[in-house]
């Protein structure tokens, strides 16, 4: 009996040890793709030194001596934090999800290729001015610098699906912009319905059924303006209440920013010899923050 007890104890210890090793190995395997938040990284493609630090919320702040390096660093940092999201998003825009996910996304790919987000992005790319093109190219080089320097240490999703991302292209960034336009353009059903109503009932009757956005309605929202949802509330008069409430104008996004002059914290680097000529996109790094130079 004592021998059996000892054997069971030894087996329990072995099982526990294997479980701990597996858990530790899994943790290290996943963590290997986490972004570096300290130290120095040597990268080809930069014209000068770039400083990146992350604040207490993990938000990266980037400082560079020129615009090309600034966008290069932005691409590198985006890839550090969101490479799988970026890969998934561009595949949505290009209609190539099925290349990695299989038949389950064939219908989505067909639909996205039919509406032509990639074709629209290609048309925009051909019309870009030199400054915008330079920014997109610099950003793409930063993304690709991260991909090339992390072969074998890519995010877990790439490992599970068994592929590596192709180099990022300026077109990929524009495609993602088209996806955002599609996501935020929720009024297309209302527009089609309104067109059918006008064709059948006339414009005046259609306006009664689905009132348009009022001419006096706000576009840039000052503090005293109520929510857009209240525009069709019975408490505001009632005569603008739509017959089809699901098509009311209750959808929007963060399409405005706060002027830096109205902020209690600085949004640009203060003028000093140390910061002379630098381009910044956040407040100056406080002491004790994590930095990646």
What would the DSSP string read from start to end of 5-62?
A: HHHHHHHHHHHHHHHHHHHHHHHHHHHTTSPP-SB----TT-SS--EEEE-TT--EEE
- pLDDT for the residue 135: 95
89-105 mean pLDDT: 93
Angstrom CA distances, 89 to 13, 35, 56, 163, 180, stand at 46, 20, 28, 16, 10
Q: What is the pTM of this model?
A: 0.66
Decide which of 27 and 32 is more confident: 32
At 178-192, the pLDDT tens digits run: 998 888 776 777 788
pLDDT over 80 (residue 233): no
Tokens of 140: 């793409």
At 117-146, the pLDDT tens digits run: 999 999 999 999 999 999 999 999 999 999
Of 247, 288, 162, give the one whose Cα is nearest residue 231: 247
pLDDT over 50 (residue 87): yes
- pLDDT for the residue 224: 56
17-41 mean pLDDT: 59
Tokens of 179: 């996806």
- pLDDT for the residue 152: 82
Among 4-18, 105-119, 202-216, name the most confident range. 105-119
Confidence band of 286 (pLDDT split at 50, 70, 90)? very low
User: Across 113-272, where does the E strand assignment appear?
Assistant: none
pLDDT over 80 (residue 235): no
- pLDDT for the residue 171: 97
Is it true that domain 51-185+255-292 has CATH number 1.10.439.10?
yes
Burial grade of 59 (CB within 10 A; 0-12, 13-18, 19 or more): exposed
Of 108, 107, 77, give the one whose Cα is nearest residue 293: 77
Confidence band of 151 (pLDDT split at 50, 70, 90)? confident
CA dihedral sign, ordered 256, 76, 26, 24 = negative
């Amino acid at each position: 009996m004592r021998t059996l007890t000892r054997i069971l104890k030894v087996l329990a210890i072995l099982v526990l040890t294997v479980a701990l090793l597996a858990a530790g190995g899994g943790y290290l395997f996943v963590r290997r793709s986490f972004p570096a938040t300290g130290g120095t990284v040597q990268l080809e493609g930069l014209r000068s030194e770039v400083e990146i630090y992350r604040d207490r919320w993990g938000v990266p702040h980037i400082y560079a001596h020129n615009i090309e390096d600034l966008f290069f660093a932005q691409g590198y940092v985006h890839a550090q934090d969101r490479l799988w999201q970026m890969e998934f998003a561009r595949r949505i825009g290009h209609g190539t999800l099925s290349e990695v996910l299989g038949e389950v996304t064939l219908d989505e790919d067909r639909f996205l290729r039919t509406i032509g987000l990639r074709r629209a992005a290609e048309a925009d790319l051909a019309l870009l001015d030199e400054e915008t093109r330079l920014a997109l190219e610099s950003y793409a080089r930063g993304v690709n610098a991260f991909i090339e320097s992390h072969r074998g240490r890519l995010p877990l999703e790439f490992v599970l699906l068994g592929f590596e991302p192709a180099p990022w292209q300026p077109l990929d960034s524009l495609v993602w912009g088209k996806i955002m336009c599609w996501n935020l353009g929720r009024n297309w059903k209302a527009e089609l319905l309104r067109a059918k109503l006008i064709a059948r009932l006339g414009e005046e009757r259609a306006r009664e059924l689905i009132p348009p956005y009022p001419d006096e309605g706000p576009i840039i929202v000052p503090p005293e303006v109520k929510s857009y949802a209240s525009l069709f509330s019975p408490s505001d008069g009632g005569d603008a209440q739509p017959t089809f409430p699901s098509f009311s104008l209750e959808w929007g996004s963060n399409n405005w920013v706060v002027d830096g002059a109205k902020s209690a914290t600085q949004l640009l680097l203060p003028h000093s010899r140390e910061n002379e000529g630098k381009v910044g996109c956040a407040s100056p790094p406080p002491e004790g923050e994590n930095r990646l130079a």
